[in-house]
Structure 1
Amino acid sequence: MTLSSFLRLICLAAIWGGSFLFMRIAAPTFGPAYLIEFRVSFAALALLVTALYLKRSLHFRAHARHYFILGLLNTALPFVLFAYAAQTLTVSVLAILNATAAIWGALIAFFWHRTPLSVKSLIGMVLGICGVIILVGWDQTLVSEALIWPVLAGVLAAVSYGVASNYAKNAPQIAAFDNAHGSMWAAVVWLVPLLPFIPMRAVPDSTEISAVIALGVICTGIAYLLYFRLISDVGAASALSVTFLIPLFGIVWGYLVLDEQVGINTLGGMILVLGGTMLVTGFSPATWQTKRAARAR
């Protein structure tokens, strides 16, 4: 991995970790439906401008069914669930729950595609579940039973990502950029029916409006472009390492910007979740280093 690719990886992790910060800032005022509708709309427009610049045609009609499935499972549903959870949960908890997506993806693959689960994968799943229990069960901010629903929403959002990743295995072979572009427009459509039923809570101030714009343009549109560039430069396996950096940045942003406290349970839960994710995905620093050296030859 070159220095430029490494810097892109760090920037991407910082941006995606920041997405939970921006949701935490804007969700209480915008509500989950309007927040995510604005987010995917700004992202779709950013990708449209990029597509026009690159002279890429989307051909939405030809793959409409695929885009709508992907837009629901990989964007609209998990984004709304995380936005709902962001009204209550801290940035660090949101980021760590997001990291369990790979664990759920492996479990879903076992039932859906009959993909065998190795002993390492099973141990990883147990570690991940224990990490979530420690993260939530020992957090003094989550003692109210009413907060079980936000935690469940965060878990279900990660499960939705797991379903989307398994759907993608048998989905039409479409360029990654087109998948992102088409699924964003599909997500815009999916969210429209929710708007009358989940209204905005108040008139947003300039900080909240800026957070929503940053969510759409930077954390979704630009982040996707960085991610695709990473896959192109270093491969999907190395690009996956961003998963393990996002919770760290989520904790840092929450502490620096919102003064969220970082307890021993947060750190312990993060270590177990990320350790479990590494076992499930087969990722390890040693393996990553070997692949990086092989590409350098």
Structure 2
Amino acid sequence: MKHSLSYTYILLVLSMMLWGGTWVAGRVLAQSVHPMTAAVLRFGLASLILLFMCWRADGRLPRLKRDQILPVTFLGATGVFAYSHFFFTGLQSIPAGRAALIVACTPVCIAAISALFYGEKFGPLRVAGAILSLVGVSIVIADGDPIALLAGGVSRGDFMILGCVASWTAYTLGGRSVMKRLPPLTSVAWSSFTGTLMLLPFALFQGLAEDLVRLRPVDWGCVVFLGFLATALAYYWYYRAINVIGASRAGIFINMVPAFAVITGFLLLDEPIHLSLAVGGCMILSGVYLTNRS
């Protein structure tokens, strides 16, 4: 049992490292090709692998009932189509570590909206955590001077990454009802596939064929990392861990993602770690912890 738990925790940490690395790989890829091309390559590869994993698990491709098609399409539209657009567009202009820290406030947004629309408890401690996290985000965005936000100090890249927060919040809340009726792996596989279908016409219009010709070996490496390792494999490990230790305990590990992103960005892309980034990041993660305490 101890060996099984240790193995589970190792897989969880590896998953968080891979997810932290998506910000660096996405930053590299976003400098070479259009955001829609990058998104199609990532989720096209991930969809093939996820559907293959479903087939291996059940002996056939998973099927959707008629009333499940629209909810799964909503997940594809929010968690794949919209998120990918904001993710790769934002990473064209802002550092990977900075982007990851902004997205780290997503659990706070999910908790706040859950309290508003689903009646979840949102006591003083959670309110304090939400405020602390949002102040931390403002410090990261404004490079240590939140007053600058009032003077138009938010860049387009920052707005794009805030779009990631909005789209992933919608995806998570939408996934609550879907995953009551579908296994998580099936939900992720079909939402990834439907999202890829939505991305494809935009990618073709934006020059997918031309982008494919000029992809460098390092770009293809980023595609394989994003599609296979960080999406298909990391999701599989994460849901496997949920089956062993539960969603709440596994979810706590997600707080490690921005830390891995900042460290990886520093080591591989020479992105500086300013004092405002460190202070704001600590405030964000502390706020997330307070907001999601049992």
Residue pair 2:62, 2:186 contacting (<8 A) in 1 also: yes
Letter of the 2:36 counterpart:
A
> What is residue 165 of structure 2 aligned with on the other side?
158
Deviation at 1:71, TM superposition (A): 1.1
Identity of aligned residues (%): 19
- Residue of structure 2 in register with 1:267 after alignment: 278
Alignment of 1:164-175 (within 5 A): 164-171=171-178, 172-175=180-183
Find the aligned partners of 2:268 and 2:11 in 1 and give their Cα distance.
23
Correspondent of 2:72 among 64, 67, 71: 67
Q: Which runs of 5+ in 1 are unaligned?
A: 284-297
- Identify the residue that residue 227 of structure 2 maps to in structure 1: 216
Classify the secondary structure of the residue corresponding to 1:30: coil
**Structure 1 222/114 Cα, relative in aligned 2: closer, same or farther at 3 Å?**
same
Q: Deviations over 1:38-66 (max 9, x none)?
A: 11000011112222322253103542212
Tell me which of 73, 82, 86 is aligned to 2:87. Answer: 82
User: How much does 1:117 deviate?
Assistant: 1.9
C-alpha distance in 1 between matches for 2:153 and 2:87: 16
| Partners of 1:114 and 1:198 in 2: CA distance | 43
Of 124, 134, 138, which residue of structure 1 is paired with 2:143? 138
The question of 1:236 aligning with 2:247 is answered yes
* CA distance 1:59–1:238, change in 2 (3 Å): same
TM-score normalised by the chain length of structure 2: 0.89
Q: Is the 8 A contact 2:108 2:288 kept in 1?
A: yes
Tell me whether 74-83 or 84-93 shows the greater mean CA deviation.
74-83
Structure 2: gaps (5+ residues):
none
Alignment of 1:1-297 (within 5 A): 2-54=5-57, 55-60=59-64, 62=66, 63-138=68-143, 148-171=155-178, 172-199=180-207, 203-282=214-293
Post-superposition Cα deviations, 1:183-240, rounded to whole Å, max 9, x if no partner, equal 1111111112322443468522110121112111111111110111110111101111
Deviation at 1:111, TM superposition (A): 3.1
Partner of 1:291 in structure 2?
Answer: none
Q: Which runs of 4+ in 1 moved over 3 A?
A: 142-147, 196-202
Distance in 2 of aligned mates of 1:220 and 1:153: 21
Letter in 2 for 1:126: I
- Distance, in Å, in 1 between the alignment partners of 2:254 and 2:122 is 21
RMSD: 2.3
TM-score with structure 1 setting the length: 0.88
Question: Which whole-Å CA distance do the structure 2 matches of 1:29 and 1:11 have between them?
Answer: 27
Alignment size in residue pairs: 282
